[in-house]
A = this chain, B = another copy of it.
Amino acid sequence: MFTAVSRIDTPAPFFGGNRLVARRAASYTTGRRVVQVHAVTNVSRNPNMGKLKAGYLFPEINRIKNAHLEKKPDAAIISLGIGDTTEPIPAPIIDGMISSVSGLGTPAGYAKYGGYGPGEGQAELREKIASRFYPGGEVSADEIFVSDGSKCDISRLQMLFGPNRNVAVQDPSYPAYVDSSVMNGHATSFDASTKQYGNITYLSCNSNNNFFPNLAHANDSEIIFFCSPNNPTGAAATREQLTDLVAHAKENGSIIIYDAAYASYIENPDCPKSIFEIPGADECAIETCSFSKYAGFTGLRLGWTVVPENLKFADGFSVKADWNRLMNTTFNGASNVAQAGGLACLSDEGWNAMTELVGFYKENASILKRTFEDMGYTTYGGTNAPYVWVSFDGQDSWEVFTEILEKCDIVVTPGSGFGPAGDGFIRASAFGHRDSILEATERLKKAFTK
């Protein structure tokens, strides 16, 4: 074996070809040094991975934050960045999980829930999700597939559809839609001038269109990612808008992947909490959802995806049947303890505690929204969503991000991280302790009041 070489001046020469050929470690000379080169394999890099630019948004932000901390080691950083829950999990839910864990130490408890569970989730949990979140009977338990979270399901959905699809996303939107689309081969390369990947349709959502896109741009899209309440803008789509969306999908034969991860934050009765409240959505939509932002389950990992019985591919084959097959091949069920936690969330006590927790973060959102407005900024979101979308009048959003970090020791998320139409904005997340949120508003007011 060779000693690692941390940095080489010029690319190492290697022998390529379409067929596998014998490969040897080599040494070569750069300047005055003889550099020992690790043998490379003859496996080409997946070109779709090569198309992805920079890091995934949040690790990238973390990197910049850590660099700031190196310069200013005693900075008391407040994060309004990644939407990461901060409050302890309420007692009735903790109790449910403790009793599940204790059970796993006993023969009876282990026999019930210890081994491999059904790939699609425990029957009792699926029933409870159906009755709690779809009280109108729009969704039945066997259309619910329990998972380790929406982000994971989104990339499994990409596997389901396979490469080279026409995909549309809201712009701005949660980066996982675009990144997983690129990884899965739907996109051509990134265009530095438009800041878009080729062959992905970006549906601009902005204050001029009330954050609901012109769907005509998606006429050719096989798959439309749609998130409501939207991450990052906080916009919750109305019943009328979603009716248009469903009509559009049915008219064009598209499938909507509807991300409802923040649905419990909706308070406006005109905004449905599920796409399946819209008649016909069961023939054109899949819905992903999550316990992460409802009960502080970001680290526990529990979500679900609804694939309706009535959703069919063009040849009439059941999408749900393929999804079931895929889940059984690529996944082995959500953690049994997380599922016990989910079940505890859906008891009356758990449900009330969860509602209270959501209310707490909503109050944070309202404090942040009011602060920015008092400071003279135009804001969106923050009422039906845990995110406040703040306009910085067209300023480069990574510059605004850096300025806020440097002046206030506050991490926000630059709007352009969610797509080119997000430039000029920052997203402030309401996930934080109340005292941090209040301290953040003080620092912001001091440094950024117009």
Least Cβ–Cβ distance between A80 and chain B, in angstroms: 14
Binds B, one of A65-73, A248-256, A386-394, A400-408: A248-256
Please indicate the chain B residues that have their CB under 8 angstroms from the CB of A22 in the complex.
Answer: 251-253
Which B-chain residue is minimally distant from A103 (CB atoms)?
B88
By CB atoms of chain B within 10 A, which of A85, A165, A331, A332 has the most? A332
* Bound: A325/B301 CA distance, A: 19
Interface membership of chain A positions 224-236, coded 1 if the CB is closer than 8 angstroms to chain B and 0 otherwise? 0000000000000
Please indicate the chain B residues that have their CB under 8 angstroms from the CB of A307 in the complex.
Answer: none
Binds B, one of A114-122, A191-199, A205-213, A419-427: A114-122
By CB atoms of chain B within 10 A, which of A41, A110, A151, A255 has the most? A41
Which B-chain residue is minimally distant from A164 (CB atoms)?
B163
* Of B98, B105, B160, B280, the contact of A49 (CB 8 Å cutoff): B160
Count A interface residues, CB 8 Å.
122
Are A322 and B46 touching (Cβ within 8 A)?
yes
Please indicate the chain B residues that have their CB under 8 angstroms from the CB of A111 in the complex.
Answer: 86
Are B335 and A20 touching (Cβ within 8 A)?
no
Least Cβ–Cβ distance between A62 and chain B, in angstroms: 9
Which B-chain residue is minimally distant from A182 (CB atoms)?
B329
CB-CB under 8 A for A4 and B310, given A159-B155, A336-B299: yes
Least Cβ–Cβ distance between A112 and chain B, in angstroms: 10
Please indicate the chain B residues that have their CB under 8 angstroms from the CB of A180 in the complex.
Answer: 329-330
Are A252 and B299 touching (Cβ within 8 A)?
no
Interface membership of chain A positions 55-76, coded 1 if the CB is closer than 8 angstroms to chain B and 0 otherwise? 1101100000000000000000
Please indicate the chain B residues that have their CB under 8 angstroms from the CB of A314 in the complex.
Answer: 14, 16, 40-45
A82 contacts chain B at the CB level, 8 A cutoff: yes
A9 contacts chain B at the CB level, 8 A cutoff: no
Known: A97-B337, A151-B331, A301-B332. 11 other contacts (CB 8 A): A4-B310, A11-B316, A23-B253, A41-B255, A41-B311, A49-B326, A94-B104, A101-B101, A151-B332, A155-B159, A337-B337
Interface residues in chain A, defined as those with a beta carbon under 8 Å from any beta carbon in chain B: 1, 4, 11-12, 14, 16, 19-23, 25, 38-50, 52, 55-56, 58-59, 82, 84-91, 94, 97-98, 101-102, 104-107, 109-111, 113-117, 119, 148-149, 151-152, 154-155, 159-163, 165, 176, 179-180, 183-185, 219-223, 249-255, 279-280, 282-284, 296, 298-301, 309-317, 319, 322, 325-326, 328-338, 433
